[in-house]
Chains A and B, each alone.
Chain A
Amino acid sequence: MAAQSILQKLEILADAAKYDASCASSGTAKKNSIGGKGIGSTEGMGICHAYAPDGRCISLLKVLMTNHCIFDCHYCINRKSSNVRRARFTPQEVADLTLSFYRRNYIEGLFLSSGIIKSSNFTMEQLVETARILREEHDFRGYIHLKTIPEADPQLVYQAGLHADRVSINVELPTDSGLTRLAPDKDAREIEGAMGGMKSSIVEAKDAKKRFKHAPRFAPAGQSTQMIVGADAASDADIVGKASRLYDNFRLRRVYYSAFSPIPDASAVLPLKRPPLIREHRLYQSDWLMRFYDYKPGEIMQATDDAGNLPLDIDPKLAWALKFREWFPVDVNRATKEQLLRVPGLGVKGVQRILAARRHRTLRLDDVAKLTVSLTKIRPFIVTCDWRPTALTDRADLRRLLAPPQEQLELFAA
């Protein structure tokens, strides 16, 4: 077979990387290239340089080092027993590609992951070497996200943290039984052990940085993980529970959900159907409720049905509100911030605007309309000086009134 060109390798290895949901480039330490020898800056806010027709942001060059793999995880397009075309980059090739994209302002940096070749340590070395070339030889100050291999030597994983802004280890499946079944070569205890090690290194480095100005930075954008939704039988309650334990135990910045999508040459133990995008969306919404609206994981679970799944036709916040109607209506002129945050359709910004504006005047329904995105959604749940939702919150058909029409479930309607 003729040697593959960079273009061919890029096609194969970017295609293989697209099932990783994360493309974030935000929340890292501020740095820029002034006074340095190279290029690159990170200023806190992530930048999406393009959007693919799947609506997802393209912020980083997201590729695999190689899609050869000695593991045989059923959900993965790159598993050993799959017949996909294989390719392999050298660290130098990935570094060069990153720089030539960055110079043209196509990307914020690199997200590098890999199939496991030869051994976990060998693979990890290749990832670290790529980051080292960028950071040390080219003084690259853009964003680097390295996927780390839980089975690799902790010393190598530590090296990754020194070069990268963010590191991540995927838990892949929300339950241990799912992992045993679909990723037989992976071990849940090993994955969580590696996350724990990463957390201690991040905490220690932060602590050292406070005391010593020249202490090395270690993964300033923290660590994240990804769970696949819809490849096994785990319910939303399982997933939310797992996510909240991960946030608590390992101080993760983000838990990403990836709706399992049919992959070319799929393993037969997996569902051959369209990815459950709405379900993924509901899980992200519940993630937001926990991170920014002060919902406890138990409260999200209260919004699920008997099988432990969130409703698909309405968002989890509305589902919760419909179950706990005694909380409503909430008086926008008197309610606490916590109470306002529970009103369906009212976001964090809307709540802040209401709190600021009500210092100046007693709010009428018209005022609330100016401060929020949509009045129709919140009206049944609030009281203003000129509005009271008489009996509306008690109506049995409130759900039908508020649920959006079903056509959004059709993916190709757009």
Chain B
Amino acid sequence: MTALQHVKPGAYYAVNLPRPDDFAFWRDRARQLIQCDVPPDRVAWVEPGGAGDLFAGGDTRLPAPPADARPVRASKRFLGVAKNAVLHSDPERFALLYRLLWRLQGNPRIMEDKTDADVRRVEEWDKNVRRDSHKMHAFVRFRQVEDEDGGEHYVAWFEPDHHIVRANAGFFRRRFANMRWSILTPKGTLHWDGETMREGPPARREDAPGDDPVEDLWRKYYASIFNPARLKVGAMLSEMPKKYWKNLPEASLIPELIAGAQTREAQMVDAGKSGFGMEFEDKPETLEAIDKAIHACRQCPIGNLDNHAVMGEGPSDAALMIVGEQPGDQEDMAGRPFVGPAGQLLDVHLEKAGIRRSAAYVTNAVKHFKYVPKVTGRGKRRIHQSPSAKEIDTCRWWQEAERAIVQPKLVLAMGASAARGILGKTVSINKARGAPIALEDGSELWITAHPSYLLRLDGEAREEQARLFDADLAAVKARLGELQTAKGP
């Protein structure tokens, strides 16, 4: 392009840009025109394939700046924004940037005035382009193909809104420096072979590979990481608008994930409820209410057996709460805790320790009798089964409700199930017995063996365990005395 020597007053000029994203070219021409004092309304900026008819007669030979022309000023902010704005697809971008640069010569701080219409428009373009680039970094999806030499080659198809492809080549080169890859777009292509970057003409979707087996894994991951209880479709759409979906392998799952979400969440809630709703708010506040509610409880499989819930018994303000495992065959029939063989043995030891059972609140960690039916020569019998950790945890709800009402100063848990019911974790009786454990509500927990354990032993072992059991009860009795005098009237 040969420059004319002098500016022709009132002349029109036209600048043909070699590429739609050529910032350097625009900057050089814009600088030259400003130095020649050519006002914005006398220049047409024409991108390749663009219509330049308005100034078709404009002179493509630009004037040369006078020798004494002042240097063109551009703030750092302007340059930063303009670099992105030229990548925008709006055909007016070059002209508007020129007008802004022109105005900037008179008002160097114009970029700070965010209420100015030109500044706002350019900043909007800048924002759109940055977003488009960001989405390109995010949503390009490579598919693996084999090169002629047998090497791995990763090819992606992407459809940007703006002329951002070349500007983002660096990002993908830095990220995948040691990989062979190509990004195909309708606005041009990029090819990296591990050493050099090659740019190519626009491509079509059919030029890219149609599938990659790893996409099955990715789709599985996408479906699994989604939490159906948190469905927020709007939030997803604002960040991943539908226009991108056609090139994202995972997006095909979205409709069914959304459709299934409500059902899946309801299933999770129902699986826990199984017909009887209980939430924090529903915790009963009287022992009578608990008694009534446990009879209806079907939270765990034990509740579905042929049995009856057994409520704790004793004064509602007892200082001592004794917790066992679960009702047995006889308790189930009598509807009272600790009336069978283990209960009778407990009574003997309590008496020995000087603890009045009638002054204590006696209950179980699990409210229903768990058993397996067995047919013997003498008819059908129900054989005791230990509750599982999950069943104990489920029933903890009721036991805690009892504890919240009775507010004992001391809780004696007999056996591992009772201890788990209070602590929520399984402890070793041998390690935990003999010393108090502080509970959240300020009371103390003492742990000992379950009397039925003694029933299963013989001889020396039984005597040894009975001694330990007595020692635990004696310690509880002594401690109870201390607690009552300390806090009593």
List chain A residues, Cβ under 8 A from B299. Answer: 268
B272 and A272 within 8 A (CB)? yes
C-alpha gap A39/B141 in the complex (Å): 16
List chain A residues, Cβ under 8 A from B233. Answer: 53, 55, 414
C-alpha gap A12/B220 in the complex (Å): 10
Residue of A with least CB distance to B260: A53
A182 and B272 within 8 A (CB)? no
B273 near A: Cβ within 8 Å?
yes
Q: Chain B 83-94, CB within 8 Å of chain A: the 1/0 string?
A: 000000000000
List chain A residues, Cβ under 8 A from B423. Answer: 184
Q: Which of A55, A106, A274, A361 contacts B235 (CB 8 A)?
A: A55
**Stretch from A245-253, A257-265, A331-339 that touches the partner:** A257-265
A396 near B: Cβ within 8 Å?
no
Residue of A with least CB distance to B277: A272
**Stretch from B6-14, B211-219, B466-474 that touches the partner:** B211-219
Residues A24-57 near B (CB distance < 8 A): 32-41, 43, 45, 47-57
**Stretch from A96-104, A307-315, A375-383 that touches the partner:** A96-104
List chain B residues, Cβ under 8 A from A12. Answer: 224
A48 and B390 within 8 A (CB)? no
A11 near B: Cβ within 8 Å?
yes
List chain A residues, Cβ under 8 A from B236. Answer: 51-55
Residues B250-295 near A (CB distance < 8 A): 250, 254, 257-258, 261-262, 265, 267-269, 271-273, 277-280
B220 and A104 within 8 A (CB)? no
A38 and B178 within 8 A (CB)? yes
Residue of A with least CB distance to B389: A81
List chain B residues, Cβ under 8 A from A131. Answer: none
C-alpha gap A205/B109 in the complex (Å): 42
B424 near A: Cβ within 8 Å?
yes
B230 and A268 within 8 A (CB)? no
Q: Which of A32, A34, A97 contacts B217 (CB 8 A)?
A: A97
A14 near B: Cβ within 8 Å?
yes
A62 near B: Cβ within 8 Å?
yes
Q: Chain B 193-207, CB within 8 Å of chain A: the 1/0 string?
A: 000000000000000
A95 near B: Cβ within 8 Å?
no
Q: Chain B 126-142, CB within 8 Å of chain A: the 1/0 string?
A: 00000000100111111
List chain B residues, Cβ under 8 A from A189. Answer: none
Residue of A with least CB distance to B233: A414
B268 and A36 within 8 A (CB)? no
B114 near A: Cβ within 8 Å?
yes
List chain B residues, Cβ under 8 A from A43. Answer: 171, 174
List chain B residues, Cβ under 8 A from A54. Answer: 226-228, 230-232, 235-236
**Stretch from B25-33, B375-383, B392-400, B447-455 that touches the partner:** B392-400
B173 near A: Cβ within 8 Å?
yes
Q: Which of A56, A57, A268 contacts B396 (CB 8 A)?
A: A268
Q: Which of A39, A106, A273 contacts B179 (CB 8 A)?
A: A39
Q: Which of B138, B175, B221, B273 contacts A41 (CB 8 A)?
A: B175
C-alpha gap A95/B436 in the complex (Å): 48
A296 near B: Cβ within 8 Å?
no
B109 and A72 within 8 A (CB)? no
A32 and B269 within 8 A (CB)? no
Which of A53, A264, A367 has the most C-beta atoms of chain B within 10 angstroms of its own C-beta? A53
A367 touching B115 in the complex, CB below 8 Å, given contacts A47-B137, A49-B138, A274-B265:
yes
Which of B143, B222, B230, B240 has the most C-beta atoms of chain A within 10 angstroms of its own C-beta? B230
List chain B residues, Cβ under 8 A from A17. Answer: 225
List chain B residues, Cβ under 8 A from A353. Answer: 114
Which of B214, B220, B222, B424 has the most C-beta atoms of chain A within 10 angstroms of its own C-beta? B424
Residues B136-180 near A (CB distance < 8 A): 137-144, 154, 156, 171, 173-179
List chain A residues, Cβ under 8 A from B177. Answer: 32-36, 39
Residues B89-119 near A (CB distance < 8 A): 109, 112-115
A3 near B: Cβ within 8 Å?
no
B460 near A: Cβ within 8 Å?
no
B271 and A39 within 8 A (CB)? no
A39 touching B230 in the complex, CB below 8 Å, given contacts A181-B440, A273-B269:
no
Chain A: how many interface residues by the 8 Å CB criterion? 84
Residue of A with least CB distance to B280: A271
Q: Which of B212, B254, B267, B394 contacts A104 (CB 8 A)?
A: B212
B389 and A53 within 8 A (CB)? no
A7 and B220 within 8 A (CB)? yes
B61 near A: Cβ within 8 Å?
no
C-alpha gap A39/B192 in the complex (Å): 13
C-alpha gap A72/B393 in the complex (Å): 10
A261 and B225 within 8 A (CB)? no
A370 touching B269 in the complex, CB below 8 Å, given contacts A18-B225, A49-B139, A414-B232:
no
B229 near A: Cβ within 8 Å?
yes
Q: Chain B 242-254, CB within 8 Å of chain A: the 1/0 string?
A: 0000001010001
Q: Which of A38, A100, A105 contacts B140 (CB 8 A)?
A: A105
A36 and B178 within 8 A (CB)? yes
* B29 CB, min distance to chain A CBs, angstroms: 29
B234 near A: Cβ within 8 Å?
yes
A360 and B112 within 8 A (CB)? yes
A72 and B222 within 8 A (CB)? no
* A395 CB, min distance to chain B CBs, angstroms: 30
Q: Which of B137, B234, B426 contacts A55 (CB 8 A)?
A: B234
Which of A50, A184, A264 has the most C-beta atoms of chain B within 10 angstroms of its own C-beta? A50
A89 near B: Cβ within 8 Å?
no
C-alpha gap A285/B248 in the complex (Å): 32
A116 near B: Cβ within 8 Å?
no
Residue of A with least CB distance to B113: A360
A295 near B: Cβ within 8 Å?
no
List chain A residues, Cβ under 8 A from B231. Answer: 53-54, 411-412, 414
B268 and A55 within 8 A (CB)? no
* A205 CB, min distance to chain B CBs, angstroms: 24
* Interchain residue pairs A-B with the least CB separation, the first 4: A55-B235, A55-B232, A184-B425, A268-B394
Which residues in A have some Cβ–Cβ distance to B below 8 Å? Answer: 6-7, 10-12, 14-15, 17-19, 32-41, 43, 45, 47-58, 61-62, 72, 74, 80-83, 97, 100-101, 103-106, 177, 180-182, 184-185, 233, 259, 261-269, 271-275, 277, 353, 356-357, 359-361, 367, 370-371, 411-412, 414
Name 10 interchain pairs, CB-CB below 8 A, sorted by A.
Answer: A7-B216, A15-B224, A18-B225, A51-B240, A56-B230, A72-B424, A105-B141, A265-B271, A269-B396, A356-B112
Which residues in B have some Cβ–Cβ distance to A below 8 Å? Answer: 109, 112-115, 120, 134, 137-144, 154, 156, 171, 173-179, 212, 214-218, 220-236, 239-240, 248, 250, 254, 257-258, 261-262, 265, 267-269, 271-273, 277-280, 299-300, 388-390, 393-397, 400, 423-426, 440
